[in-house]
Structure 1
Amino acid sequence: EQVHPAAMLVFHSGALILEALDGPILQAINMPCALASDLVNYLKQAGYDPLVYDPVPESHHVWYESARSVNAWRARYIEANGEKARLILNLEDRLDRDPAQIAVSGSLSAMHDLRTQLRSRWHTIGLILSRSTLVPDYFFLEIVPERVSKANALAVLGAMHGVLSAEMISIGDNFNDLDMIHYAGLGVAMDNAPEEVKTTADLIAPSNDEDGVAYIIENFLLTSGTL
């Protein structure tokens, strides 16, 4: 499927907002490299194998070191990203520029514990938890600059176009969609979303496989004449 060239686009959980597919850039937020270095060192000492993402808007590569432990999600993620994923001897060598984000993965309990630890040590970061769609029973934690979230991206776009949050519809299927589901006037969860996400939502749409997004567009936008 092709993206309409005039469509506004949001990437990296809200860090990058483009007015159209070929620009201009409306927002690009990266993490200070000194902060990123501290986080990478902490994660490695805690036994994790972090991934470091090149700055937005370029976002050329995801960098990783040789694994210290077995992690099926990380291995599958690296494989799925092909040439974009790059092995490096020391992640510090890529932290001369501010990265977009850092990510780690593990069990749900491990990610919950790590999120608590990181929150207690750093107050200028955002922490976004998601369930893996690549490997069952794995979860991953995105560590981002504090102003980065999908809800904040909606707020930026709303301010630009004079659209109130109460007038917005957001649709999500994972934990990293919770904030925008809360933010929008109509927060929609796909039927394949985790129970916590569905409990939070105002409405449950059919699953991804059942064209749930098309259902919402047809029943809430096309019928109202919004589109």
Structure 2
Amino acid sequence: PLDHHSTWLEIFPGNVSKSKTACWLCGELNLDTRRTVTIGNDYNDIDLLEWGACSYVVGNAPGDLRNQFTPVSSHDDNGFTQAVNRWLVRSSDSLPR
């Protein structure tokens, strides 16, 4: 949780996950999963972060996630925007000229 005080309990059916949903959405929209970017902030994002072709975590994510995935600024310091900008630069570098 972002406030570092609350405790969340998330219960989902076994066949539901963020990564399965992202994969389904890519299939429905005919998007190449090799060109995906994922951004997370906590342990409930791990399956999505592991699934994404390019994954970032905001600076206020737990330390072990910042070590496992590419860290950007905290959510309060435009981490989401920074991740998207980095991905856009990375993606444009790989386009044929």
What is the TM-score normalised by the length of structure 2?
0.80
Percent identity of equivalent pairs: 23
- Secondary structure at the aligned position of 1:188 is classed as strand
Give the letter for the 1:184 counterpart: G
Counterpart check, 1:169 vs 2:37: yes
Residue 57 (structure 2) aligned to one of 189, 209, 219: 189
Q: 1:38-76 deviations in whole A, cap 9, x for unaligned? A: xxxxxxxxxxxxxxxxxxxxxxxxxxxxxxxxxxxxxxx
Residue 217 (structure 1) aligned to one of 62, 67, 84: 84
Higher relative contact order (CA 8 A, sep 6+): 2
Specify whether residues 172 and 135 from structure 1 end up closer, same or farther in structure 2 by C-alpha distance, changes over 3 A only.
Answer: closer
Distance in 2, matches of 1:219 and 1:135, equals 27
Q: 1:8-38 deviations in whole A, cap 9, x for unaligned? A: xxxxxxxxxxxxxxxxxxxxxxxxxxxxxxx
What is the TM-score normalised by the length of structure 1?
0.37
Contact 2:37–2:54, Cα closer than 8 Å, also in 1: yes
Q: 1:135-194 deviations in whole A, cap 9, x for unaligned? A: 52x532211111211111111111112323321100000111111000001111111001
Larger Rg: 1
Counterpart check, 1:148 vs 2:20: no
Instruction: Specify the alignment match of 1:204 in structure 2.
Output: 71
Distance in 1, matches of 2:4 and 2:18, equals 24
Distance in 1, matches of 2:46 and 2:7, equals 15
TM alignment of 1:23-62, pairs within 5 A: none
Distance in 1, matches of 2:21 and 2:64, equals 22
Gaps of 5+ in 1: 1-131
Gaps of 5+ in 2: none
Distance in 2, matches of 1:139 and 1:195, equals 18
Distance in 1, matches of 2:92 and 2:25, equals 21
Give the letter for the 1:216 counterpart: A
- Secondary structure at the aligned position of 2:50 is classed as helix
Distance in 1, matches of 2:10 and 2:87, equals 32
Distance in 2, matches of 1:135 and 1:207, equals 14
Residue 2 (structure 2) aligned to one of 122, 126, 133: 133
Specify whether residues 191 and 134 from structure 1 end up closer, same or farther in structure 2 by C-alpha distance, changes over 3 A only.
Answer: closer
Give the letter for the 1:193 counterpart: A
Contact 2:39–2:57, Cα closer than 8 Å, also in 1: yes
Greater fraction strand: 1
Aligned residues: 93
